[in-house]
Structure 1
Amino acid sequence: MDERLEKAEEEIAHLRRAVDDLSEVVARQVREIDTLTRRVTVLMERAAEAEVAASGTIPLADQKPPHW
């Protein structure tokens, strides 16, 4: 019985370590996604500003379709 208990405890320890490792990975990915989302937003704003500066009109992406 001791051997089974020891094996179960060892397996639990490995599983806890795996969960901790995966938790760290997920946390890092959340930070990276947040950073990338902010960068994309800034780039989209810059592109829209450049489009306005170049054409002097409302950016195409912000215009209502003709059927509206």
Structure 2
Amino acid sequence: MSGNTEMEERLAALEIHVAHQDETITSLNTIVTEQWHEIDRLKRQAAALAERLSMAEETLEKGAAPPHQPPPHY
């Protein structure tokens, strides 16, 4: 019977190991998904800033005065 007990113990150890791996994979998937969303948001923000910079450069090249803004102390 010791052969069966040893096999049962090995099987239980493998099941525990797989359960821990499943938990790790789920956790890593969540982190990767969150990072993907953050990267996507940052790409959109960088594109918007590039567009604003392009518009500002065009305005300066045309010689137009920048829009009037109150000084920073207001």
Q: When the two structures are superposed, what TM-score results if normalisation uses the length of structure 2? A: 0.74
For residues 20 and 56 of structure 1, what CA distance do their matches in structure 2 show? 54
**Is 1:53 matched with 2:59?**
yes
| 2:21 aligned residue (7, 11, 15) | 15
Q: Partner letter of residue 45 of structure 2?
A: R
| 2:46 aligned residue (25, 40, 46) | 40
Runs of 5+ unmatched residues, structure 2? 1-6, 64-74
Poorly superposed stretches of 4+, deviation over 3 Å? none
For residues 18 and 54 of structure 1, what CA distance do their matches in structure 2 show? 53
Q: Partner letter of residue 39 of structure 2?
A: I
Runs of 5+ unmatched residues, structure 1? 58-68
- Between the aligned residues of both structures, percent identity stands at 35
Q: When the two structures are superposed, what TM-score results if normalisation uses the length of structure 1? A: 0.81
Q: CA-atom RMSD, angstroms?
A: 1.2
1:55, distance to aligned residue in structure 2 (A): 1.1
- Give the structure 1 partner of residue 10 of structure 2: 4
1:56, distance to aligned residue in structure 2 (A): 1.6
Of structures 1 and 2, the larger Rg is shown by 2
Per-residue CA deviations over 1:2-60 (Å, capped at 9, x if unaligned) read: 10000000000000000000100110011001000000000000000000011129xxx
How many pairs does the alignment contain? 57
